Amino acid sequence: MKVIVIMPLAEQRGGGEVSFFDLMQQGRNADVEWLAIFLEDGPMVEQVRNLGIDTRVVESGRLRQVHRLIATIFHIAAIARREGADMILNWMWITHITGGLAAMLAGLPAVWYQLEVPYDQTWLVRLATLIPAQSIMTVSKDGQKAQSQIWPYRPTPLVYPGVALDRFDPAILPTPAAARQKLGLPMHGPLIGIVGRLQRWKGMHVLVEAMPQILQQYPDAHVVIVGGKHDLESDYEDFLKKQITDLGLSDRIIMAGLQRNVPEWVQAMDIFVHASDKEPFGIVIIEAMALGKPVIASNAGGPTEIITDGVNGLLTPYNNKDALAQAILRYLNNPDFSQTLGLAARQRALQFSTQRYAQNLINVIRSKMPTVLEKMPKRITS
């Protein structure tokens, strides 16, 4: 089975790009011949090529550049015909507008992986859904429900992303104290951390607002924010810095910027916070859980499918600094409770391996493949 997978981004900026790479890495030995087409050039092109996968770049430009969009559609369709592809897998709804139309032109089935939860059902998501698809895979039950309500109704199988558990294994990482020392982090007092792109919906500002309450009981506590500036909200970083200064927390909150060695940074933390608003899934939550960290996440969206409140983590409402502060203090005030939930978190995380994720996604692709007899007329007339 030969599958063309189309990826709009060529630089790792978040969980969607990580999941794409995990599929390419873990899906190489699953009797699938992949052909990866990136719609822009960037570091991920060479990374995927180094896996031994046929990788190409077809630069598409922006959707509003209609002439380039049309040229891209025809280019991808020509590659699909020439290479004898059996299916086109589109990464994210924006890619299905291009790849779905290319699949129609080549007479091939298409599927796409919906990495967002389309609460607002924008006209672009509606447009993508109008384009034929054998299925629209979703990353959470929340996303599955939202996507299934958009007409025309497509099958919406659920495929949870995975985590590279071998990278988030506490046995192969430095101890938390050694990680702190290596990264130049404070050696004394509780260290509370958050990891993510610097965007308002990720909730870093909520953790900053909660910090004064933490310091009342634990004056030697620190927060570390790991994440880089996002192009769509480039002003959020400056907002956070001003907020930290205004609250007099400059010596208590560390903005570490974008970091590649995320496992070591998370390993250094005593408590991990994920304060997003309606997170579609939350790969970084599982990464922290895999390290046995006590985790706090928002009580909506994907995190509710990962965490059972009070069993393997804690859930709090988004944008509620008081609830977040109380959850952090609950861990700090009760080390036994914190340790118990951390151990349970690690066991839960082991259910989300990248191997299981890749196999589940491939199983969906296989289930949507037309039979040979169904495909023959299309091949003859194309």
Contact 10, 36 (CB under 8 A): no
Task: Looking at the structure, tell me whether residues 252 and 146 fall in a common domain.
Answer: no
Q: What pairs with residue 135 in β-bridges? A: 111
Number of domains in the chain: 2
Task: Looking at the structure, tell me whether residues 141 and 89 fall in a common domain.
Answer: yes
Task: Looking at the structure, tell me whether residues 214 and 333 fall in a common domain.
Answer: yes
Task: Looking at the structure, tell me whether residues 147 and 187 fall in a common domain.
Answer: no
Task: Looking at the structure, tell me whether residues 248 and 377 fall in a common domain.
Answer: no
Q: What is the pLDDT of residue 372?
A: 39
pTM, two decimal places: 0.92
From the number of C-beta atoms within 10 Å of its C-beta (0-12, 13-18, 19+), residue 76 rates as buried
Task: Looking at the structure, tell me whether residues 186 and 238 fall in a common domain.
Answer: yes
**249 SS3 class:** coil
Task: Looking at the structure, tell me whether residues 239 and 295 fall in a common domain.
Answer: yes
Q: What pairs with residue 149 in β-bridges? A: none
Task: Looking at the structure, tell me whether residues 178 and 101 fall in a common domain.
Answer: no
**276 SS3 class:** coil
What does the block give as tokens for 127? 């447009």
Give the CATH number, domain containing residue 181.
Answer: 3.40.50.2000
223 backbone dihedrals φ, ψ, rounded to 5°? -120, 140
CA angle 108, 42, 18 (to 5 degrees): 70
* pLDDT values of the chain reduced to their tens digit, one per residue, 382 residues: 999 999 999 998 788 999 999 999 999 978 899 999 999 999 999 999 999 999 999 999 888 889 999 999 999 999 999 999 999 999 999 999 999 999 999 999 999 999 999 988 789 999 999 999 999 999 999 999 999 999 999 999 999 999 999 999 999 999 999 999 999 999 999 999 999 999 999 999 999 999 999 999 999 999 999 999 988 899 999 999 999 999 999 999 999 999 989 999 999 999 999 999 989 999 999 999 999 999 999 999 999 999 999 999 999 999 999 999 999 999 999 999 999 999 999 999 999 999 999 999 999 999 998 763 354 344 433 3
Task: Looking at the structure, tell me whether residues 92 and 28 fall in a common domain.
Answer: yes
**112 SS3 class:** strand
Task: Looking at the structure, tell me whether residues 343 and 361 fall in a common domain.
Answer: no
Q: Which domain, by its residues, includes 185? A: 170-349
Task: Looking at the structure, tell me whether residues 194 and 321 fall in a common domain.
Answer: yes
Task: Looking at the structure, tell me whether residues 69 and 123 fall in a common domain.
Answer: yes
